Amino acid sequence: MKKISIIWTSLLAISLVLAACKSSPPASPTATQMDANAVFTAAAQTAESRMTEIAASTPSPLPPTATETPQPATSTPEPTTQPITPTATTQQQPPPSSGSDRAEFVSDVTVPDGTKFDPGEKFTKTWQLQNAGSTTWTTGYSLFFVSGDHMSGPVSVPVPREVAPGQTVDISVDLKAPEDSGTKKGYWRMANASGNLFDTSVYVEIVVRGSEATATSSSDKTSTPQATGTSQPSGDAVSDLILSVNDASVEETCPYTFNFSGQFTVNKTSDVTYKLDADTGSSIDLPAPVTSTFSPGTYTVVYSLKFSGSVSGWARLHLTSPEDVTSSKLNFDLKCK
C-alpha cells in the first residue's frame, strides 16, 4: 500500500507541474538571444545590400559578336622624294654625230706659222683638211672659231663643197692682223650641220710687226667690245670664253631655232657656274644656270633658242663663278618668211 501511495503521489506532482507549464505564458527570450539574432539579421541585410550595389555597378555582359581575324600590324610607308633629273639645255663637250665625224689636218696652204704682218693688214688663211670620218661633209658643215685671237674673222665659214670620207678640202678664212704687236694665235674647229664640234682643232699663228708709227698709245684705245665671237678679259681660274652660231643672220620659215656653241677654258679645278645671256628687246625663255666641277681643260656647251617670229638680238656666254667673266656679244638676226 505504501508503495502504491508513493507512485500516486509522484504522478500527481508531475500532473501539477505539467498543468503549471501549460497555463503560464511563454518565456521571453533572453537578452543574449536577442543580441545574437540582431547581429545575424544586420549582417544578412548588409550582405544583401552590398550584393545589390555590386550587381548595379557591374555591366551586363555584351552579346557575343563575330570573331574578327586579327590583322597583322602594318606601318605607313614614309613618303619618298623621287630624285629630279636636271633637264639642262646645255651639254659639256657634245659628241659628234654617232662618233663618225672626224677631221685631220693635212697642211697650211697659206700663211705658214710665224708669218709676219703689219698691224691691221688683211690676209687669207687656208687649211687643207681631210675627212677622216665615215660621214660625208655637206655644205651645212662649217669651220668655227673657238678660242684665241679672232683677228676680226667671221664666226664660221661653211665647207665649200661636199667632202666624202677620205677626201680633202681647202677651207679659207679672211682675217686681219691685230693692231698690237706680238705673236697672235687663233684656234678653229670643224662642226657638223647640227652644230656639234669635232674633237680636233686647227690654228693660225702670225707675228704682228711693231713700229713707232703704228704703235697705239693707251689714250687712243677705245672701250668698244671685241669682235663677235671672241672672249672678253678673263680670270685666273677660267679664260677664253667664246660663243658662236652656225648662221647669225637667216631668212627662214618660222619657228626657227638658233644653235649656239660656247667654249671656255678651266685653268685649275673649280666649281664653275655658266649660263647664256641674251636680249632681243622682249621676253626670252633662257636656260637655267648650270654649276659643275671641272678639271683643267677646255669645255664646250651648246644652247638652243627657238623663235616663232622675226627677231634681232645678241647673246653671250656668261660664267658667274669662280669668277665673273663673259664672252663678247654675238649678234643674231632672224627674218621669218
Q: Which range, of 155-169, 182-196, 240-254, 312-326, averages the lowest pLDDT? A: 240-254
One-letter amino acid of 204:
V
Neighbours of 60 (CB within 10 A): 6
What's residue 66's pLDDT? Answer: 44
Read off the pLDDT of residues 308-331 as tens digits, 9 standing for 90 and up. 999 999 999 999 999 898 888 889
pLDDT value at 173 more than 50: yes
Q: Which residues pair with 128 in a beta bridge?
A: 107, 170
What's residue 197's pLDDT? Answer: 87
Residue 246 or 305, more confident: 305
Mean pLDDT in residue range 46-51: 52
What architecture does CATH give domain 226-337? Sandwich (2.60)
Edge-to-edge strands, sheet with 156-158:
115-117, 197-208, 182-191, 142-148, 156-158
One-letter amino acid of 294:
F
- How many residues in total does the chain contain? 337
- Cβ contacts of 74 within 8 Å, gap of 6 or more: none
Element at 176 (helix H, strand E) = strand 168-176
Under DSSP, is residue 53 helix (H, G, I), strand (E, B) or coil?
A: helix
Q: Which of 261, 262, 256, 260 is nearest to 311 (CA)?
A: 256
What percent of the chain has pLDDT above 90? 28
Mean pLDDT in residue range 203-214: 72
pLDDT value at 237 more than 60: yes
Read off the pLDDT of residues 140-154 as tens digits, 9 standing for 90 and up. 999 988 888 899 988
Read off the pLDDT of residues 274-296 as tens digits, 9 standing for 90 and up. 999 999 888 888 888 998 888 88
**Rounded CA gap, 158 and 192, in Å?**
10
φ, ψ of residue 38 to 5 degrees: the values are -60, -40
Instruction: For the chain, give every domain's residue range.
Output: 93-212, 226-337
Read off the pLDDT of residues 67-98 as tens digits, 9 standing for 90 and up. 444 454 444 444 333 333 333 333 343 444 44
pLDDT value at 170 more than 90: yes
What's residue 4's pLDDT? Answer: 53
**0.75 exceeded by pTM:** no
What's residue 282's pLDDT? Answer: 85
**Rounded CA gap, 304 and 261, in Å?**
9
One of 3.90.700.10, 3.40.50.720, 3.30.560.10, 2.60.40.10 is the CATH number of 93-212, namely: 2.60.40.10
**Rounded CA gap, 89 and 258, in Å?**
13
Instruction: Specify whether the CB–CB gap between 266 and 295 falls below 8 A.
Output: yes
How open is the CA angle 154-155-161, to the nearest 5 degrees? 80
φ, ψ of residue 82 to 5 degrees: the values are -75, 135
Residue 73 or 168, more confident: 168
**Rounded CA gap, 54 and 74, in Å?**
41
Mean pLDDT in residue range 43-53: 51
Instruction: Specify whether the CB–CB gap between 304 and 278 falls below 8 A.
Output: no
Q: Give residue 166's pLDDT band: very low, low, confident or very high (50, 70, 90).
A: very high
pLDDT value at 30 more than 50: no
Neighbours of 210 (CB within 10 A): 12
Q: Give residue 99's pLDDT band: very low, low, confident or very high (50, 70, 90).
A: low
Same fold, 93-212 and 226-337: yes
